[in-house]
Structure 1
Amino acid sequence: MISLIALGAAVFIWITYVPSSIPWLEKAGLADLLGIEAAEGEESAGRGGFGRGGPTRVVVAEVTEGRIGDRIEAIGDGQAVRSVTLRSEVAGQVVDVIRAENGAVEADDVILQLDGEAERIALERARILLANAEYDATRIERLDGTGAVTEVRLREARLALRTAELAAEQAEYDLAQRTITAPISGWLGVIDLAVGDRVSPQDVIATITDRSELLIDFRIPERAIGMVTQGTPIEVRALGIPDFEIEGEITAVDNVVDRTSRTLRVQGRIDNSDDRLRAGMAFSVTMTFPGETLLSVDPLSVQWSSEGSFVWTVRDDKAVKAAVIIRQRNSDSVVVETEELEVGDSVVIEGVQNLRPGAEVSVATDRNMGAAETAQTERARL
């Protein structure tokens, strides 16, 4: 007797609280045997069976449009929007090293000074020869009108003057090579030179970077080639800085797919006016592309049974079971595919545990009110 009572209590609880029990009993032919009437069109269906009357208080949410988003994530390397490596074109001894304040330099600022005494002497000699050539050329041109000089002599004087001018320009250029200046404005890197060190041609002196903006190099799979163009927005996250995210855009797309990895090189650009980022850092790049337009429902409305996922919708104050296929889960919505719902329909998000197909429902206008009434109903039933 105790076993039979326990079994009967278990069946009662199962029929009362499991929405899928009634259809199962009907298919098995046990509903009539147990005296359970079909839910559709009966007053007893309001609370799920066994004679509990009155509509079920529920809270609903509206069905809206949703898109399946194609999301691509990649890891990229950052580089300065402009970067220049300073090198010496001539050999010489370092006589002065300028240390930029806070590492920032402007274009044409002096970075390194080499010994240029020999070049200054050569420039002075060239200027003396130029002055002498100018004097000779002026004197001969004055005599040209008197017939005292020949055409050949006049041409020789002009040629000597031009030669002296070029020699002076060359001497000025050689002297300028002894001073190394910044070609761009930016941040100066570490200089591993001191006064007295000797520099050879093509020796690296330092690197100047303009990191007011950073370029992010990364690769995307070939399936996304048709979706990426210049101006496509990207979300960038610095792997070395927690909770740092910034938006940018695609500035360049390569034209050749790598045969080994089947990926395409893409370059994006982000702002770095606050100077928090550095060239060479690793970044996570995310791109989201809108896809197919379907229906979107509240995550709380989605239920499961042996037949798959479904939602409860309210039509003519009755609960109707609508089968759905989940296509994508988001943090605040679920994108579903179904032919039984339309945009603007109402789906139940609270009170689903008391529903049966065809059960009478009363929609609560306030979500908190609906939750309180649902909890009160559950306590009364227990």
Structure 2
Amino acid sequence: MRLWQQVVVSVVVIGAGVAVWGRMSPGAAGTLRAAGLPDTVVAVLAPAQPATEAGQAQSGNQRRGGGPALVVTRPVGSAVINDRLNAIGNGEAIRSVTVTPSATGNLTEILVKSGDVVKTGQVIAKLDSEDQTIAARQARVALDSAREKVERYRKNASAFAVQDLRDAETTLQGAELTLQAAELDLKRRDITAPTGGIVGIITVNVGDYVTTSSPIANIDDRSEILVDYWVPERFATKITVGQPVTAQAVAQPGNPLSGVVHAVDNRIDQTSRTLRVRARIDNADDRLRAGMSFSVTMAFDGDRYPTVDPLSVQWSGDGSFVWRVAGEKSERVPVKIVQRNPDKVLVEASLADGDPVVTEGVQRLRDGGAVSVAGQTRGDGAAPPAGADKTAKAEGAR
């Protein structure tokens, strides 16, 4: 191609480029006039744009850095965690004993049946006691004889030696001890209830030979129920004796029960990292039974944290952060995520309730940069440009 042809093609290409630039760029007219071109040429190369197109061009100019960054914000909220504890526990009677005999022998009587209410010291069964009865009678006869002998020696002290009187008194003391031992052996033939309560199923029968390790019956005092449950170790310092609890028997839904913490263990289980706690629940109406499972609930003051929208949390090499709007300026605030939920994120940060945090339009933000919140009037009294909401959302989507 000859030189003049190359020059012509270059001029045409440059002219076409200037024409396209003049029609697409909102500030092209001013630039052409500053270059010294007459208004007639400027009108051809950069014709005036309609009002709507100018607004869109202005909005696009702001997106490219020509004005404040358009953002959508959402106020900071707050939420409380660790304010409630739910656990499953096992119930036991406040006093429960397995009755065993104090001696060996054959059962001759069983004086109670399953479900009977007994008092402390009440006889519930008897062992054969013929030998013990005879021994007690013999001891009583020996005691009476020794007592008469001592009285006779004392009345006629001059007729007997002092040593004889002392021997008689020693014999009397021995007879008294022998009688006490015989009566104790006889008393042990009666099997008594060591505590009051309700008798369980009796597993022995009259005529059975029992020993001191043979269970006769179980007696439960279930006027109150003790519920043992385990809590995570983070609650160890928050639980004290007397603290109120709410419980519900799993077998009796819809019947909430009130109680208090009865005892707290003195150590954390190293295997499960839990602490054993025992609650006491009143059972005056006798609706509860030992061995039931209970759902236990405890309330605490809890820990309050700021909450932000999940879209507002950003990440960098230094960790997570959010953008807060303060005085029409963007401010980067480091955050530490405590708990993430589908609708909000609990964070540990220097945020106050109601602080506006950017959720959309975060790409153009810098620390201390100017921002314009979509849907709000700017500080100079001017409303945000047309299409601001859509622009911020589009930037957030990118």
TM-score by length of 1: 0.61
The worse-fitting range, judged by mean Cα deviation, of 204-213 and 229-238 is 229-238
Shift of 1:72: 2.2
Identify which of structures 1 and 2 has the higher relative contact order when contacts are C-alpha pairs closer than 8 Å and 6+ apart: 1
Shift of 1:103: 2.2
Shift of 1:71: 2.2
Shift of 1:77: 1.3
* Contact 1:68/1:327 (8 A) holds in 2: no
* Contact 2:245/2:296 (8 A) holds in 1: yes
Structure 2: distance between partners of 1:173 and 1:186: 25
For 1:70, the equivalent position in structure 2 comes to: 83
For 2:286, the equivalent position in structure 1 comes to: 275
Structure 1: distance between partners of 2:54 and 2:128: 106
For 1:253, the equivalent position in structure 2 comes to: 264
1:90-129 matched pairs, under 5 angstroms: 90-100=103-113, 102-129=115-142
Shift of 1:285: 1.8
- Which ranges in structure 1 are unaligned for 5 or more consecutive residues? 1-28, 37-63, 297-301, 309-325, 343-355, 360-382
Shift of 1:79: 1.0
* Contact 1:81/1:212 (8 A) holds in 2: yes
Q: Give the residue type in structure 1 aligned to 2:149.
A: D
Calculate the aligned-residue CA RMSD, in Å.
3.7
What secondary structure does 2:275 align onto? strand
For 1:363, the equivalent position in structure 2 comes to: none
* Contact 1:68/1:335 (8 A) holds in 2: no
Superposed CA deviations along residues 35-94 of structure 1, whole A, max 9, x for unmatched, are 99xxxxxxxxxxxxxxxxxxxxxxxxxxx9975452222222111111111101212121
For 1:341, the equivalent position in structure 2 comes to: 354
Seen in structure 2, the aligned counterparts of structure 1 residues 228 and 237 have a Cα distance that, compared at 3 Å, is same
Shift of 1:201: 2.6
Structure 2: distance between partners of 1:30 and 1:287: 63
Seen in structure 2, the aligned counterparts of structure 1 residues 136 and 245 have a Cα distance that, compared at 3 Å, is same
Q: Give the residue type in structure 2 aligned to 1:132.
A: S
The worse-fitting range, judged by mean Cα deviation, of 270-279 and 64-73 is 64-73
Pairing partner for 1:206 from 217, 220, 226: 217
For 2:55, the equivalent position in structure 1 comes to: 32
For 2:203, the equivalent position in structure 1 comes to: 192
Q: Give the residue type in structure 2 aligned to 1:198.
A: Y
1:5-44 matched pairs, under 5 angstroms: 32-33=55-56
The answer to whether structure 1 residue 224 and structure 2 residue 235 are counterparts is yes
Q: Give the residue type in structure 1 aligned to 2:122.
A: D
Seen in structure 2, the aligned counterparts of structure 1 residues 183 and 253 have a Cα distance that, compared at 3 Å, is same
Shift of 1:307: 5.0
- Which ranges in structure 2 are unaligned for 5 or more consecutive residues? 1-51, 60-76, 314-336, 356-373, 378-398
* Contact 2:248/2:256 (8 A) holds in 1: yes
What secondary structure does 1:174 align onto? helix
Q: Give the residue type in structure 2 aligned to 1:252.
A: A
Number of aligned residue pairs: 268
* Contact 1:95/1:115 (8 A) holds in 2: yes
For 1:183, the equivalent position in structure 2 comes to: 194
Pairing partner for 1:142 from 152, 155, 165: 155
Q: Which has the larger radius of gyration?
A: 2
Structure 1: 4+ residue segments shifted above 3 A:
33-36, 64-69, 292-296, 304-308, 326-329, 334-342, 356-359
Superposed CA deviations along residues 239-270 of structure 1, whole A, max 9, x for unmatched, are 22222321211121111222211222211111
Shift of 1:99: 2.3
Seen in structure 2, the aligned counterparts of structure 1 residues 31 and 175 have a Cα distance that, compared at 3 Å, is farther
* Contact 2:225/2:290 (8 A) holds in 1: yes
What secondary structure does 1:290 align onto? coil
- Percent identity over the alignment is 40
What secondary structure does 2:291 align onto? coil
* Contact 1:88/1:200 (8 A) holds in 2: yes
Q: Give the residue type in structure 2 aligned to 1:182.
A: A
Seen in structure 2, the aligned counterparts of structure 1 residues 160 and 306 have a Cα distance that, compared at 3 Å, is closer
Structure 1: distance between partners of 2:286 and 2:353: 54
What secondary structure does 1:269 align onto? strand
Q: Give the residue type in structure 1 aligned to 2:217.
A: A
* Contact 1:108/1:182 (8 A) holds in 2: yes
Structure 2: distance between partners of 1:31 and 1:281: 76
* Contact 1:212/1:273 (8 A) holds in 2: yes
Shift of 1:209: 0.9
